[in-house]
Chains A and B, each alone.
Chain A
Amino acid sequence: MKQLDQAFAALADPTRRGIVVHLARGEASVSELVGRFSLTQPTISSHLKVLESAGLISRRKVAQLRPCKLVPERLKAVTDWLEQVQEIWEGNYKRLDALLTELKQAEKKERKK
């Protein structure tokens, strides 16, 4: 669960979300990401560190390069969880919408009597 919390915190940042979306299209090196996001290499690296410790990306060692890759299972765990939470909230509120419509109609009828 701790890693799931970390994943939420990691995804709360717009740059890191951008990196995740970018990596959804395929592996990328740090220098590619630096070019893509117009940020300094240390900034990109620190974002990658957060994503990596949250288990959202993995990095291979290839000579001096460490290409980054999305870990789709982790991202799916987050989106599945969010969908479930959203369903509960909106489910309740939609039923409340329906109930309120009914109460309004009942009130109208009452007034006509």
Chain B
Amino acid sequence: MKPAEASLPSDTEVLVKRSFDAPVKLVWRAYMEPDLMRRWCGGHPGWSMPVCEMDMRVGGKYRWRWRSDENGQEFGFTGEVLEVTPHAKIVHTQIFDAGDLGVSMGSEPAIITVTFHEVNGITNVTTTIRYASKADRDAAFATGMTDGMEMSYKLLDGVLAEG
């Protein structure tokens, strides 16, 4: 599968696209079941995911927390589920919990919309992160957690085009 593709559709949004070689019902499970979620959302080298609680019903809450193996510092995300359309769409809020990392990522919740669309056994997933304001987006930008990939591809394109 091609690597994730990100773009900046507006001043306050980041869109990430990726395809997966699996039917949508399996991809959906990986997003809905905490035990599965933990396997791929956690597991970043050097970090454990001690908290991965999810109640993926409309009005349900979730809480994700990562801990650094090196120094025990933690950060996480929390939020509330706004919309669930099985095998098609999840919308939830997201608040960055800086824990003891001491970085800020905006105070108002961002709205995350994830869509799933299966074509011939391949599932296309889009993730739109809509920040409450441009200032919040810039704060997220600065922490290096969410966007910037579009820029990296553009940079790379530029370098490659130069040959």
A interface, CB within 8 angstroms of B: 1, 4-5, 8, 11-12, 14, 17-18, 20-21, 78-79, 81-86, 88-93, 95-101, 103-104, 107
Question: Given known contacts A99-B36, A103-B26, is B4 in contact with A90 (CB within 8 Å)?
Answer: yes
Bitwise, B23-47 to A at CB < 8 A (1) or not (0) is 0001101100000100111011100
* 17 cross-chain CB contacts under 8 A: A5-B141, A17-B158, A17-B159, A20-B158, A21-B162, A82-B148, A82-B149, A83-B152, A84-B144, A85-B147, A85-B148, A85-B149, A93-B4, A93-B20, A96-B30, A100-B22, A100-B27
Q: Which residues of A contact B159 (CB under 8 A)?
A: 17, 21
Q: Is the CB of B40 within 8 A of A85?
A: no
Q: Size range of the interface on B?
A: 35 or more
Q: Is the CB of A95 within 8 A of B43?
A: yes
Q: Is the CB of A91 within 8 A of B154?
A: no
Q: Which of B18, B20, B26, B151 contacts A12 (CB 8 A)?
A: B151
Q: Is there a chain A Cβ closer than 8 Å to B101's Cβ?
A: no
Q: Looking at the assembled complex, report how far the CB atom of B12 sits from the nearest CB atom of chain A, in whole angstroms.
A: 14
Q: Nearest 7 pairs between A and B by C-beta?
A: A17-B158, A82-B152, A100-B22, A95-B40, A96-B40, A1-B142, A85-B148
